[in-house]
Chain A
Amino acid sequence: MRTAIVKAFAFLAKEFHDVRRQPRLLLSLVGGPLLVLAAFGATFRSANPFIATVLVWPENGVPGVDQDQAENYIGANFYLVKVTTDRAEAMAMLDSGAVDVVQIIPDVTAEPQEAGTRPEIEIISRTIDPNAEAWIRSLAYGELNYINRQLLTRQAQVAQDKAREAAASLEDAASQFRQLKQSFDAGDIDSTAEAARELRSSLVSLLEFLPPISEAQANLAPELSRIHRDTEILIDDLDEFEQVLNSGELASRMERLSSTVDEIETLQGTVDDFVAVPAENIVSPVRETYSNLRGSPYSLVIFYTPAVLALLVQQLAITLGSLGLVRERQMGSYEMFRVSPLRFSQILAGKSVAYILYVTVAGAILTVLLALLKVPLPVHAVQHLVLLILLATASVGIGFLISAVSQTDSQAIQLTMLLLLLSIFFTGFFLPLTGFSWPAWILGAMLPMTHAIDGFQALLLKGNAVPWGVWVSLIGLSVLSYGLVLLVMRRQYRRTN
Chain B
Amino acid sequence: MDRMTSTESSQERGNDALVLQEASLDFGGGAGVFDLTLTLPQGAILGMIGPSGCGKTTTVRLLNGIFGPTAGEVRVLDKSPLEFTNTDKARIGYIPQHSLLYPNLSAEENLHFLGGIYGMPSGERKARISDLLAFVELAEARKRLARQLSGGMQRRLMLAGALLHGPDLLFADEPTAGIDPILRARIWDNFRELRDQGKTLLVTTQYVGEAAYCDRVAVMRRGRLVTIDTPDGLRRQALGGEVIHIEVDSSRALEVMQFFEDLSQVKHTERKPGEPGGVLVFVEDAGQELPVLLATLKEHKGITPLVAEPYLPSFDEVFVRLIQRSEATQ
**Residue A10 is within 8 A (CB to CB) of chain B in the complex:** yes
Closest chain B residue, CB of each to CB of A21: B104
A332–B89 contact, CB under 8 A? no
Closest chain A residue, CB of each to CB of B104: A21
Residues in B with CB closer than 8 Å to A337 are: 117
B119–A14 contact, CB under 8 A? no
Query: A14 and B105 in contact (CB under 8 A), knowing A341-B86, A341-B89?
Result: yes
**Residue A76 is within 8 A (CB to CB) of chain B in the complex:** no
Q: A404 CB to closest chain B CB, in angstroms?
A: 20
| A336→B115 CA distance, assembly (Å) | 12
| A7→B116 CA distance, assembly (Å) | 5
B119–A338 contact, CB under 8 A? no
Instruction: Identify A335's interface contact among B66, B87, B121, CB under 8 A.
Output: B66
Residues in B with CB closer than 8 Å to A7 are: 116-119
Q: B155 CB to closest chain A CB, in angstroms?
A: 14
Interface hits, B59-115 → A, CB 8 Å: 61, 64-67, 85-87, 89-90, 92, 94, 96, 98, 100, 102, 104-106, 109, 112-113, 115
Q: B133 CB to closest chain A CB, in angstroms?
A: 17
Q: A166 CB to closest chain B CB, in angstroms?
A: 93
A21–B145 contact, CB under 8 A? yes
A17–B104 contact, CB under 8 A? yes
Instruction: Identify A336's interface contact among B87, B94, B112, CB under 8 A.
Output: B94
**Residue B183 is within 8 A (CB to CB) of chain A in the complex:** no
Query: A18 and B105 in contact (CB under 8 A), knowing A7-B117, A336-B100, A337-B117?
Result: yes
**Residue A414 is within 8 A (CB to CB) of chain B in the complex:** no
Closest chain B residue, CB of each to CB of A5: B119
Residues in A with CB closer than 8 Å to B104 are: 17-18, 21-22
Residues in A with CB closer than 8 Å to B96 are: 332, 335-336
| A6→B122 CA distance, assembly (Å) | 8
A13–B112 contact, CB under 8 A? yes
**Residue B120 is within 8 A (CB to CB) of chain A in the complex:** yes
Residues in A with CB closer than 8 Å to B112 are: 10, 13
**Residue A333 is within 8 A (CB to CB) of chain B in the complex:** yes
| A22→B96 CA distance, assembly (Å) | 27
| A18→B90 CA distance, assembly (Å) | 26
A6–B89 contact, CB under 8 A? no
Query: A339 and B89 in contact (CB under 8 A), knowing A10-B113, A13-B113, A13-B116?
Result: yes
| A430→B178 CA distance, assembly (Å) | 55
Residues in B with CB closer than 8 Å to A3 are: 119
**Residue A9 is within 8 A (CB to CB) of chain B in the complex:** yes
Instruction: Identify A341's interface contact among B90, B121, B122, CB under 8 A.
Output: B90
**Residue A134 is within 8 A (CB to CB) of chain B in the complex:** no
| A272→B67 CA distance, assembly (Å) | 103
A338–B65 contact, CB under 8 A? yes
B145–A339 contact, CB under 8 A? no
Q: B11 CB to closest chain A CB, in angstroms?
A: 29
| A17→B106 CA distance, assembly (Å) | 9
Q: Interface residue count for B (Cβ, 8 Å)?
A: 31
Instruction: Identify A332's interface contact among B85, B100, B120, B122, CB under 8 A.
Output: B100
Residues in A with CB closer than 8 Å to B105 are: 14, 17-18, 21
Residues in A with CB closer than 8 Å to B109 are: 13-14, 17
**Residue A331 is within 8 A (CB to CB) of chain B in the complex:** yes
| A333→B103 CA distance, assembly (Å) | 13
| A320→B61 CA distance, assembly (Å) | 30
Residues in B with CB closer than 8 Å to A92 are: none
Residues in A with CB closer than 8 Å to B100 are: 331-333, 335-336
Q: B173 CB to closest chain A CB, in angstroms?
A: 10
Interface hits, A358-379 → B, CB 8 Å: none
A342–B117 contact, CB under 8 A? yes
Residues in B with CB closer than 8 Å to A10 are: 112-113, 115-117
**Residue A60 is within 8 A (CB to CB) of chain B in the complex:** no
Instruction: Identify B94's interface contact among A14, A331, A339, A342, CB under 8 A.
Output: A339
B119–A6 contact, CB under 8 A? yes
**Residue A496 is within 8 A (CB to CB) of chain B in the complex:** yes
Interface hits, A399-441 → B, CB 8 Å: none
Instruction: Identify B66's interface contact among A9, A17, A496, CB under 8 A.
Output: A496
B66–A14 contact, CB under 8 A? no
| A331→B102 CA distance, assembly (Å) | 9
**Residue A299 is within 8 A (CB to CB) of chain B in the complex:** no
**Residue A340 is within 8 A (CB to CB) of chain B in the complex:** yes
B94–A18 contact, CB under 8 A? no
Residues in A with CB closer than 8 Å to B113 are: 10-11, 13-14
Q: B126 CB to closest chain A CB, in angstroms?
A: 13
Residues in A with CB closer than 8 Å to B115 are: 10
Query: A6 and B116 in contact (CB under 8 A), knowing A331-B100, A338-B65, A339-B64?
Result: yes
Interface hits, A335-361 → B, CB 8 Å: 335-342
Residues in A with CB closer than 8 Å to B106 are: 17
Residues in A with CB closer than 8 Å to B64 are: 339
Closest chain A residue, CB of each to CB of B171: A339
Q: A469 CB to closest chain B CB, in angstroms?
A: 39
| A336→B122 CA distance, assembly (Å) | 20
Interface hits, A279-301 → B, CB 8 Å: none
Q: B183 CB to closest chain A CB, in angstroms?
A: 22
The 7 closest A-B pairs by CB, nearest first: A10-B116, A341-B86, A3-B119, A21-B104, A341-B89, A339-B94, A14-B113
12 contacts between A and B (CB under 8 A): A4-B119, A7-B116, A7-B119, A10-B115, A14-B109, A17-B109, A21-B105, A332-B100, A340-B89, A341-B118, A341-B119, A342-B118
Q: Can you add 8 more A-B contacts, CB < 8 Å, to A13-B113, A332-B96, A342-B118? A: A14-B105, A18-B104, A335-B66, A335-B96, A336-B94, A341-B85, A341-B90, A497-B67
List B residues at the A interface (Cβ < 8 Å).
61, 64-67, 85-87, 89-90, 92, 94, 96, 98, 100, 102, 104-106, 109, 112-113, 115-122, 145
